[in-house]
């Protein structure tokens, strides 16, 4: 089945944030930038006349705020999901955004990893919802309470870690060696290696010939 490409509009009066958001989006072929706007009213006009799946929206904008734009999207029945990507940290603004239907909430300054998780969660939920002919409670619970492990597994970190092994199929790696190759923390890599070993995708064994403390080594089966 062909993977859907999500059309995204970026609405932010900070050109640097718009640039970063676009650059991050373009790393994922499932997402395509359909437009960028520094003015909320211009964005509303575009969204009312074009098919868009997702809006990345700054809430703090002069004259016409992101919250006002969210309200007007609802009034005009624009079927686009909204994720605030904002410097607004107040609980009140978060509550308002959620009540207006925000699909997630990303606080500036954000890391690429959190941005990627946001996209991954959105894509998985959208694709699951699109594939449902009729929803039962189990399907709804899975959709709304998708575990973080499922989000992480769908992203690039697991593939990146497996790439370390595929590039050296005869080699055995320690956690630290994989972490260095993959550019990730030891804690993150250890969690992924355990999951991959439990699934039988890699093997683990103990090396006692270290002259000191034994160490766990990982390699392809």
Say which range, 21-25, 102-106, 161-165, 174-178, has the weakest mean pLDDT.
Answer: 161-165
Distance CA 178, CA 169 (A): 13
User: How far apart, in Å, are the Cα atoms of 60 and each of 95, 167, 200, 208?
Assistant: 15, 46, 48, 58
Domains defined for the chain, CATH in brackets: 6-131 (3.40.50.2300), 155-219 (1.10.10.10)
Which of the four pLDDT bands, split at 50, 70 and 90, describes residue 173? very high
* Sole residue written with tokens 């595929």: 166
Tell me, what's the pLDDT at 197? 86
Does pTM surpass 0.75? no
Distance CA 101, CA 71 (A): 10
Which of the four pLDDT bands, split at 50, 70 and 90, describes residue 190? confident
SS3 (DSSP) at 156: helix
Which tens digit of pLDDT belongs to each residue from 112-130? 888 988 898 898 888 777 6
Which tens digit of pLDDT belongs to each residue from 48-89? 999 999 999 999 998 899 999 999 999 999 999 999 999 888
């Amino acid at each position: 089945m062909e993977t859907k490409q999500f059309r995204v509009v970026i609405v932010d009066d900070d050109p640097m944030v718009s640039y970063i958001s676009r650059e991050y989006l373009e790393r994922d072929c499932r997402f395509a930038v359909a437009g960028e706007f520094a003015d909320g009213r211009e964005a509303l006009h575009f969204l009312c006349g074009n098919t868009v799946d997702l809006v990345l929206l700054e809430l703090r904008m002069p004259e016409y705020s992101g919250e006002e734009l969210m309200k007007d999207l609802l009034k005009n029945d624009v079927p686009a999901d909204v994720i605030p990507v904002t410097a607004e940290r107040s609980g009140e603004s978060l509550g308002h955004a959620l009540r207006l239907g925000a699909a997630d909430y990303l606080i500036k300054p954000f890391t690429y990893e959190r941005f990627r998780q946001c996209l991954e969660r959105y894509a998985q939920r959208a694709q699951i919802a699109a594939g449902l002919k009729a929803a039962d409670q189990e399907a709804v619970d899975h959709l709304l309470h998708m575990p973080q492990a499922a989000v992480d597994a769908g992203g690039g970190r697991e593939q990146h870690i497996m790439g370390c092994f595929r590039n050296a199929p005869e080699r055995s790696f320690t956690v630290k060696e994989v972490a260095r190759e993959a550019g990730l923390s030891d804690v993150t890599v250890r969690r992924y290696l355990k999951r991959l070993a439990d699934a039988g995708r890699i093997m683990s064994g103990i090396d006692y010939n270290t002259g000191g403390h034994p160490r766990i080594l990982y390699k392809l089966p």
